[in-house]
């Protein structure tokens, strides 16, 4: 099995599309909003939370979220896209939720981090199982039916 085929291979059921729709749509939407509302969600937000080089990193993160969110929605290169989104979420949690934990405690952080944790775990899930049968990865890897490996 080639390296690319092993990345694309999936035995996951077609129902994985539900997770792909949630994860992909949220990341796609958040990435677009970084450009639509740069003061609140893009460069301005990155400046507020102390991210270095915010004029470079905010658009970079927006492009990653748009690109990887789109790939997840299509079920194309799902695992590599998931890795980038996991990194995205770990940085988001470290820079925005850990300070809330330190200042306001666990329950305030848990409330504010619910979407972050859902996106992190959804991305980890997709990294583990792949796109499922209703994704381009399965087609490219040569899976044609429910019993294909």
Is residue 55 within 8 Å of residue 44, measured between CB atoms? no
Per-residue model confidence as pLDDT tens digits over 92-113: 999 999 999 999 999 999 999 9
pLDDT at 149: 40
Closest of 79, 71, 86 to residue 116, by C-alpha: 86
- pLDDT category of residue 18 using cuts at 50, 70 and 90: very high
- pLDDT category of residue 142 using cuts at 50, 70 and 90: confident
Per-residue model confidence as pLDDT tens digits over 23-74: 999 999 999 999 999 999 999 999 999 999 999 999 999 999 999 999 999 9
């Amino acid at each position: 099995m080639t390296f690319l085929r092993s990345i694309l291979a999936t035995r996951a059921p077609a129902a994985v599309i539900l997770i792909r729709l949630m994860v992909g749509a949220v990341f796609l939407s958040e990435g677009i909003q970084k450009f639509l509302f740069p003061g609140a969600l893009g460069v301005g937000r990155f400046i507020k939370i102390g991210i270095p080089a915010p004029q470079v990193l905010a658009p970079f993160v927006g492009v990653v979220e748009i690109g990887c969110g789109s790939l997840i929605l299509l079920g194309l290169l799902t695992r590599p896209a998931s890795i980038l989104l996991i990194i995205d979420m770990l940085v988001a949690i470290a820079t925005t939720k850990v300070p809330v934990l330190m200042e306001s405690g666990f329950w305030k952080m848990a409330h504010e981090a619910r979407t972050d944790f859902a996106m992190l775990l959804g991305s980890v899930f997709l990294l583990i199982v792949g796109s499922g049968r209703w994704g381009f990865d399965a087609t490219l890897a040569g899976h044609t039916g429910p019993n294909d490996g």
